[in-house]
Amino acid sequence: MTNLPPHFGREKKKEVMFHIPGAFPTTMIPGLTKEYFPTEYKSIVVRCAETFYRLRESTAL
């Protein structure tokens, strides 16, 4: 999983959140999710670093 952008998972909501700033083609993310995570997980792209790290911190609690 070293080629993945910064990410974290929410097991209860079955989501994987990726931090991808800028104009990265977000259509590539579902392919990454299928390869590394269970198929029922959906992927979410967060472009703002502050929001991403705040969400990750609140998930860890």
pLDDT at position 61 is 59
**SS3 of residue 27 by DSSP:** helix
Q: Can you give the residue ranges of every domain in the chain?
A: 7-31+40-60
Residues of the chain falling short of pLDDT 50: none
Q: What is the pLDDT of residue 53?
A: 93
pLDDT of 27 reads 65
Largest CA distance in the chain: 31
Model pTM score: 0.76
What distance lies between CA 41 and its chain's CA centroid?
10
Sheet containing 15-19: give its strands across: 7-10, 15-19, 42-46
| Cα first-last separation, the chain | 24
